[in-house]
Amino acid sequence: MSDEESEYAPATSHLLVETKGPWSGPGCAGFLRDARDLARTGHRVRLLFIQDGVSAAVAGSLGETASAAAAGCEIWVDRFSLAQRGLDESGLLPEASPVEMPEVAAWVLEPDVRVVWH
């Protein structure tokens, strides 16, 4: 897409779902950089951390998560996944919001939301 086309393209909403933690390899950090870049270009981005991905929302674990939040990404963390891994909500980044699946499902069903699973 050219710069002229992107200037007029409507912003979309994205739900990016991260299921792998920082220790699974460079894919997690790359996925979070993609989220950051989407937010920087004006798209609404929610990052949802589930399964082992919740470890990327722990304060100090991965700089890319904080960078994505600073760029405007909303950080959602699945409460069930946290509990299954013995992680406490108090250890999360300050920008992180623990959520339940009904909140996620409601957003997935919005007509303008694009979901990307990693």
Express each pLDDT in 35-85 by its tens digit: 999 999 999 999 999 999 999 999 998 899 999 999 999 999 999 999 999
The class of domain 9-117 in CATH terms is alpha beta
Q: Which residues contact 21 (CB under 8 A, 6 or more apart)?
A: 28, 52, 53, 54, 55, 56, 61
Check residue 13 and give its pLDDT.
Answer: 93
Check residue 27 and give its pLDDT.
Answer: 87
Summarize pLDDT for 16-45 with one digit per residue, the tens.
Answer: 999 998 888 888 999 999 999 999 999 999
